[in-house]
Amino acid sequence: MAIQLGRCIVVVSLLALISPLCMGGGYGGYQGGHGGYQGGYLYPQFYDKSCPKAKEIVQSIVAQAVAREARMAASLLRLHFHDCFVKGCDASVLLDSSKNIISEKGSNPNKNSLRGFEVIDEIKATLEKVCPQTISCADIVTLAARDSTVLAGGPYWEVPLGRRDSLGASISGSNHNIPAPNDTLPTIITKFKLQHLDLVDLVALSGSHTIGLSRCTSFRQRLYNQTGNGLADSTLEESFAAQLRGGCPRSGGDNNLFPLDRVSPTKFDNLYYKNIFYGKGLLSSDQILFTKSPDTMALVKLYAENEKLFLEQFAKSMVKMGNISPLTGYNGEVRKNCRFVN
């Protein structure tokens, strides 16, 4: 059953997936630009007429990349997070430095750490041959994050589409807005609130750490000097801490890699929460979800006990995150090369 809302046509079962921009009027769905109805809102069928094979092409190239290197699933998922938390989901994170742009790739959270750019380049180049200047880099990153999650065994969700690409980047936004491994819980909560993401979203989206690897430099202080008193983090399980010290010395080895979920590092499941429950969260920002707030602790326990509930909430929170401040209508552009503005 379909409902006509002005020029917004939505299927009842997809109402939850339509960005609030549609319901609030936004650009009202006027004609113009590239893609589906060319409206100022996001919806999954945006490219169905203008580039019907777009989703299939993205999925195919992501699948090849993850088959070559399982870690790439986590890298592409993280790329989407680090894009959306800075100026919204607008592919600003993909821009290289140029005359008027200082790239976000050089920020503290991203330098020598953020990956997957070559996969996005390959997807974009393929799409440009099939549907020139139609699919935005922002939508490619969003689709790649969903496809990576599914390939790792996680949930599937319909991705609302129709984002456009930014005309600039914000290295200061990247340095200040992205939650850091050693942030306090109140700081992390504030950073999520600034993106209109709540406590449930915070705990569910942290569950993306069920896959991927982290560098020694991101958790070293937990092993040797958590509070400046020369002692290890008391919430870190002792045998796990000893194991980590074996590969993460007091100095050197900054880039030594460790799985965020030591039990099933390439499988998207709820073991991340079970690890935290037993004091085996790798990052401080993981473990404090269990130790610093009764509200987040309750959610960790809930997802540790109920994987289905976690997977459902993760999908909902990913849609919500993907709707952070998108550029639509005539705002921004559709880049020809994701690394540079047109």
164 phi/psi in degrees, rounded to 5: -120, 170
Q: How far is the C-alpha of 44 from the C-alpha of 182, rounded, in Å?
A: 36
Residues 6 or more apart whose Cβ sits within 8 Å of residue 224: 230, 232, 245, 250
Residue 28 labelled as part of a binding site: no
Residue 210 labelled as part of a binding site: yes
10 phi/psi in degrees, rounded to 5: -130, 150
Residue 88 labelled as part of a binding site: yes
Sign of CA dihedral 146, 147, 148, 150: positive
Residue 52 labelled as part of a binding site: no
Q: How far is the C-alpha of 68 from the C-alpha of 64, rounded, in Å?
A: 6
Any bridge partners for residue 8, and if so which?
Answer: 5
Determine whether 260 is exposed, middle or buried from the number of CB atoms within 10 Å of its CB (0-12, 13-18, 19+). buried
Residue 317 labelled as part of a binding site: no
The residues annotated with a catalytic role in the active site are 82
Residue 104 labelled as part of a binding site: yes
Residue 269 labelled as part of a binding site: yes
Residue 90 labelled as part of a binding site: yes
Contact 303, 270 (CB under 8 A): yes
Residue 83 labelled as part of a binding site: yes
Residue 132 labelled as part of a binding site: no
Residue 66 labelled as part of a binding site: no
Binding residues: 83, 86, 88, 90, 92, 104, 179, 209-210, 261, 269
Q: Residues annotated as binding site for heme b?
A: 209
Binding region for Ca(2+): 83, 86, 88, 90, 92, 104, 210, 261, 269
